[in-house]
A and B are shown apart, each in its own frame.
Chain A
Amino acid sequence: MSNLISLNQIKRHYDVGGELVKALDGIDVSIKPNEYISIMGPSGSGKSTLMNIIGCLDTPTDGTYQFEGELVHEMDDDQLASIRNRKIGFVFQTFNLLPRSTALRNVEVPLIYSNTPKAERLEIARSSLISVGLGDRLDHKPNELSGGQRQRVAIARALVNTPSIILADEPTGNLDSKSGIEIMKILYDLYTKGNTIILVTHEKEIAKHANRIITIFDGKIKEDRANENMIKAL
């Protein structure tokens, strides 16, 4: 099967007051459709930086990045925005919902940016929220929802443009264990339906939900292995 993503010698260097910080220093990764990958590593190892590059939020200082055969490292801002909008679904540790908008509005926004007609937009947004079990919370604002519910709204938002890949950076990091388990169930469910998922975590137990575990250290890949005893969150 052809690669969904291939990173080749990706580097991300920062110049902090004359000192060179090598957040990523030569990453080679290929990802095929319908993989469920955990990225592990200590704090500061470069997990989020890698995630941001894969998610087209950041551009590498060196190396090549192909997404579905397209050369991402050569794209301009608008092309990157379009990839983010149509191909990538983000789930953040801090939810990152629009605080003044209802759950439904939040989920609608990516569809607005992709120019989906209004009726269709509402329909997709509503069914996406129903699919994460929030059919009865459509008109609630983020501050009227629990942490777990907020994260589910974020997942619903990530799904509306049927992305090629879902990127979740510590999605359970701000949640109690019960809500965390719910989120892991939803992700597993998405995986079984054929989605490709990358999950950043520093908890071993969480990482075991994936079928492939990549460990980074100091901006380099230390280990990249298949996870035979994948936990099936049912």
Chain B
Amino acid sequence: MFSLFFESVRIAVDSILSNKIRSFLTGLSIIIGILTVTLMGTLISGLDRGFEKSMDFLGKDVLSISRWEWFGGQDWWEVRNRPRIRLEYVDKIKNRSKYAEAVAPVMQRGASLSRGDLGARSQIFGTTTEYLKTTNYGVETGRFFTNGEDRSGARVALLGYDVAENLFPNEDPIGKNFKIDGIRFRVLGVMEKQGKFLGLFSFDTQVIIPSGATQRLFSRRGFLRISVKIPDDKIEESKDEIYGIMRQIRGLKPTEKDDFAVNQTVAFENIYNSIKFAIGGVGIFITILSLVVGGIGIMNIMFVSVKERTKEIGVRKAIGATKNMILTQFLMEATMICVIGGLIGLSFAYILSLVINQFFPSTMPIWLAITSISLSIFVGITAGLIPSYKAAGLDPIDALRYE
């Protein structure tokens, strides 16, 4: 049995090699199909991991109160005319909410950082000590500021990982000074490395300072949002409560619409999922299309191959090949074209995944490689079946007589 199997592999290889260009063109669709499916899978698994990580940092059980919905198609004029979110809401929410576990203001604005000759653009976050409870973002080295430092307006800061690298290359930044928009600050600590998500945003380029200093030094510019940590088993109740409190603060009548937004990372997730399904859908469509086209191509070329080798089939039968042996031979040839095409597609996908990896972390999962090769084998067998049956069923005398 083994020698028969190797024989059919050998015949298949011979046949493919003696028709290199034809085999390549036939296998092209398979190459494209496998390339698409593996690349897409790699992309999605990379996205998933990046997304999970970013979501972890943001915290899934955190509400973010701001003027705008993160993802919404509201009327721009209506949103523009909404009142600002004010710092005193923080205490009001803290006092009135029974669910809120932590409430932190985040005053965000752009700023230039400098230290000697070194400089960088950055976003600065002015917040309170409760900030740490509203994210999973932690301090890597050094310490966070204290309530005392916040209240006294101390000019202290925590650096994002990349900021620390840029301003303090090869040295320990803790205790050292740098400037935010020309004003001197002292480094208390460095935040943990978060990495990029899709190259879109990263906490690593940000600087966190106390809200006290922010109000004194930079209060005129930037915008404020309020992060509220809620129990993860009471998300809906907490959300309702926060809406109620905000409406109360704003003095809205029951008929009036909300003039603020309560955002949740779930919103990110919904957007993310729709992006993911779009990529997946397009990818699967291209994959199926090219595999079907490839399969038809293979079937066609196998019919040609059977026709061309009718005489050979006759000879093989005359010297004792059974139907199954002929069937195996041609199935092997069809499968081989597909598997070689699949392997080529897979190698291309692997190389491309290394390129993609430069932008965000993505490695091709092993199961995907295995699945794609199985898929190639499946296409090969399916497409080769009818031509191979035709070959196996040929009458030996007719086949021998064929010129």
Interface residues of A (CB under 8 A from B): 52, 55, 57-58, 77-78, 81-82, 84-86, 90, 92, 96-101, 109-110, 112-118, 121, 157, 161
With A57-B397, A77-B323 already in contact, the answer to whether A112 and B18 are too (CB < 8 A) is no
- Are B3 and A110 within 8 A (Cβ)? no
Contact of B319 among A52, A77, A109, A115 (CB under 8 A): A109
Residues of A within 8 A of B4 (CB): 112-113, 115
Instruction: Tell whether, in the assembled complex, residue A110 and residue B319 are in contact, meaning their CB atoms are under 8 Å apart.
Output: yes
Instruction: Please measure, in the bound complex, the distance between the C-alpha atom of A101 and the C-alpha atom of B321, giving whole angstroms.
Output: 17
A78-B319 CB under 8 A given contacts A96-B400, A100-B14: no
Q: Are the C-beta atoms of A112 and B322 separated by less than 8 Å?
A: no
Residues of A within 8 A of B322 (CB): 77-78, 81-82, 113
Question: Does A78 contact B318, Cβ atoms closer than 8 Å?
Answer: no
In the complex, A89 Cα to B1 Cα: how many Å?
23
Question: Can you report 9 A-B residue pairs in the complex whose CB atoms are below 8 A from each other?
Answer: A57-B400, A58-B396, A82-B320, A85-B319, A100-B14, A109-B316, A112-B3, A113-B319, A161-B320
User: Would you give the 0/1 interface string for B1-13, flagging 1 where the beta carbon is closer than 8 Å to chain A?
Assistant: 1011001000000
Within 8 A of A (CB), among B305-342: 311-312, 314-325
A90 with B319: in contact, given A96-B311, A115-B1, A117-B3 (CB under 8 Å)? yes
| B-side contacts of A157, CB under 8 Å | 319
Check B3 against A84 for contact (C-beta < 8 Å): no
Q: Out of A58, A84, A97, A98, which one reaches B320, CB within 8 Å?
A: A84
B315 x A81 contact (CB < 8 A)? no
B312 close to A113 (CB less than 8 A):
no
Q: Which of B311, B317, B318, B397 has the most CB of A within 10 A?
A: B318
Bound state CA distance, A159 and B18, in angstroms? 29
Q: Which residue of B lies closest to A85 (CB)?
A: B320
Contact of A112 with B7 in the complex, beta carbons under 8 Å: yes
Give B20 Cβ to nearest chain A Cβ, in Å: 13
Known: A112-B3, A117-B3. A52 touches B320 (CB 8 A): no
Identity of the chain A residue whose Cβ is nearest the Cβ of B14 in the assembled complex: A100
Task: Given A112-B3, A112-B4, A115-B4, answer yes or no on A58-B319 (Cβ-Cβ < 8 Å).
Answer: no
Q: What per-residue 1/0 map shows which CB atoms of B122-149 lie under 8 Å from chain A? A: 0000000000000000000000000000
Distance A115 CA – B320 CA, assembled complex (angstroms):
11
Q: Is there an interface contact between A86 and B320, defined as CB atoms closer than 8 Å?
A: yes
- Give Cα A216–Cα B1 distance, bound, in whole angstroms: 43
Give which listed residue, B316, B320, B324, contacts A114 with CB less than 8 A: B320
Shortest distance between the CB of B380 and any CB in chain A (Å): 22
Cβ of B15 to closest chain A Cβ, rounded Å = 8
Contact B318 A90 (CB under 8 A): yes
By a CB distance below 8 angstroms, the chain B residues around A118 are: 3
Cα distance A23–B1 when bound, in Å? 39
Q: Is the CB of A110 within 8 A of B320?
A: yes
Once bound together, how far apart are the Cα atoms of A52 and B232, in whole Å? 83
8 closest A-B pairs (Cβ-Cβ)? A85-B320, A81-B322, A113-B320, A110-B319, A96-B315, A112-B7, A57-B396, A84-B320
A142 CB to nearest B CB, Å: 11
> What residues of chain B lie closer than 8 Å to A109, measured between beta carbons?
316, 319
Q: Which residues on the B side are within 8 Å of A101 (C-beta)? A: 14
| B321 to A, closest residue via Cβ | A113
**Other CB < 8 Å A-B pairs besides A57-B397, A86-B320, A113-B316, 20 of them?**
A52-B397, A57-B396, A57-B400, A58-B396, A58-B397, A78-B323, A81-B317, A81-B323, A84-B317, A85-B320, A90-B319, A96-B318, A97-B315, A98-B315, A100-B15, A110-B320, A113-B320, A113-B322, A116-B3, A118-B3
